[in-house]
């Protein structure tokens, strides 16, 4: 039986290697499967990168109409602009079309009519890979690779030095936690490794995005509530990553967007109210009602 131990052990590690590869592949496919509907232009425009020292981007939606299926229009003419370095928040009931807006910004789909603009050009004029390299997202739920926590952060910019990875982790407020792990940055995470909490995973995503240094940032706030302490740490980390960066926040908790330059309140594919937090409270409409509901803990 002992003679079998070696080969079996070997087979076991081959198996787990294949499994890791499959999980990574699955993740990659889930990121790209939506690309089928859009095509790169024959003569793509170049898009500047922050790493090359360019200024924050300007993002605009101009009378955008869109639906996933021909018989059902989801966005009925959406217009807004995020000025370079500014922060715009989108709030509204479930199914209103908030995430659809971020999917159109990434050009996972093309609009039916109207334009999604980055740096003054329709996103159709850029190569998809270039567009997605210019936009960073901190998603609701981060997928971790079956690899070290260091690799999971470095993935934001392959080729980053260990010092750059550590700097990003510090800014994302995850470095101290990593130092408590048995193997530090080499600790295996993901399906087969250490399971991270929602808040820890989100900070890994923030560190990844800090390394990526995108010109446009999309924050898709988690619906599930984090405990107050974690929430505070995450908010501080998000502030660091969104500073002086064109930011679009899909928000569920109004307390996190009080400082936004503009808040769009969406209802059924339309912007029903817009303004700053103070303006919207004064207007005593939908937003003011949502604010009152959240303040009393109902929202
Ligand atoms: P939530 O706050 O619940 O995340 P949301 O405002 O982000 O909601 P969207 O995800 O943008 O809403 O969805 C808007 C509408 O589009 C919904 O009615 C939804 O059912 C529909 N929808 C979303 N994704 C698809 C899809 N892939 N195919 C068909 N319909 C979709």
Interface pTM (ipTM) of the complex?
Answer: 0.96
pLDDT tens digits, one per residue of 36-68 = 578 899 888 988 766 556 778 999 999 999 999
CB proximity list for 115: less than 8 A, separation 6 or greater:
60, 61, 62, 63, 64, 122
The Cα–Cα gap between 127 and 260 comes to: 30
95 close to ligand 1 (CB < 6 Angstrom):
yes
Shortest-distance Cα residue to atom 3 of ligand 1: 94
| pLDDT of residue 262 exceeding 60 | yes
The CA distance from 198 to 170, in Å, is 18
Q: Count other Cβ atoms within 10 Å, centred on residue 96.
A: 21
Residue 97 CA to ligand 1 centre (angstroms): 6
- Which residues on neighbouring strands pair with residue 48, listed in sequence order? none
Of 54, 91, 47, give the one whose Cα is nearest residue 245.
54
Radius of gyration of the chain (CA): 21
Distance 192 CA to ligand 1 centre (A): 32
pLDDT band at 244; cut points 50, 70, 90:
confident
Per-residue pLDDT, 256? 84
- Is 252 touching ligand 1 by the criterion CB < 6 Å? no
- Measured in Å, residue 182 CA sits from the centre of ligand 1 at 41
- Report whether pLDDT(85) > 90: yes
Q: Is the CB of 140 under 6 A from ligand 1?
A: no
Q: Indicate whether 35 pLDDT > 50.
A: no
Atom of ligand 1 nearest to the CA of 69: 29
What single string gives the DSSP state of each residue in 213-225? --SEEEEE--SSP
Q: Is the CB of 269 under 6 A from ligand 1?
A: no
Instruction: Please tell me the pTM assigned to this model.
Output: 0.83
Tell me the average pLDDT of the chain: 86
The pLDDT value recorded for residue 299 is 47
Distance 135 CA to ligand 1 centre (A): 21
**Does the beta carbon of 123 sit less than 6 angstroms from any atom of ligand 1?**
no
Instruction: Supply the pLDDT for residue 234.
Output: 82
DSSP, collapsed to helix, strand or coil, labels residue 256 as helix
Nearest CA to ligand 1 atom 19: 95
């Amino acid at each position: 039986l002992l003679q079998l131990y070696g080969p079996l052990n070997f087979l076991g590690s081959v198996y787990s290697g294949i499994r890791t590869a499959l999980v990574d592949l699955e993740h990659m496919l889930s990121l790209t499967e939506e690309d089928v509907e859009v095509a790169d232009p024959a003569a793509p425009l170049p898009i500047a990168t922050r790493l090359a020292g360019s200024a924050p981007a300007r993002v605009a939606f101009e009378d955008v109409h869109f639906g996933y299926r021909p018989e059902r229009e989801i966005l009925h003419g959406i217009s807004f602009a995020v000025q370079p370095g500014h922060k715009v928040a989108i709030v509204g009931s479930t199914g209103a079309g908030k995430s659809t807006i971020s999917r159109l910004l990434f050009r996972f789909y093309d609009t039916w009519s109207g334009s999604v603009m980055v740096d003054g050009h329709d996103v159709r004029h850029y190569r998809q890979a270039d567009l997605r390299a210019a936009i960073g997202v901190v998603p609701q739920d981060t997928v971790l690779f079956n690899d070290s926590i260091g690799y999971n952060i470095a993935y934001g910019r392959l080729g980053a030095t260990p010092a750059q990875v550590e700097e990003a982790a510090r800014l994302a407020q995850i470095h101290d936690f990593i130092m408590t792990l048995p193997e530090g940055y080499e600790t295996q995470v993901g399906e087969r490794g250490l399971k991270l909490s929602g808040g820890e995973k989100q900070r890994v995503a923030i560190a990844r995005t800090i390394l990526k240094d995108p010109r446009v940032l999309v924050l898709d706030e988690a619906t599930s509530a984090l405990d107050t302490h974690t929430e505070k740490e995450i908010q501080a980390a998000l502030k660091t990553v969104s500073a002086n960066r064109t930011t679009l926040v899909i928000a569920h908790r109004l307390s996190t967007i009080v400082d936004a330059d503009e808040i769009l309140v969406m209802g059924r594919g339309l912007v029903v109210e817009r303004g700053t937090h103070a303006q919207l409270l004064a207007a005593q409409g939908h937003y003011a009602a949502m604010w009152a509901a959240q303040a009393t803990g109902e929202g």
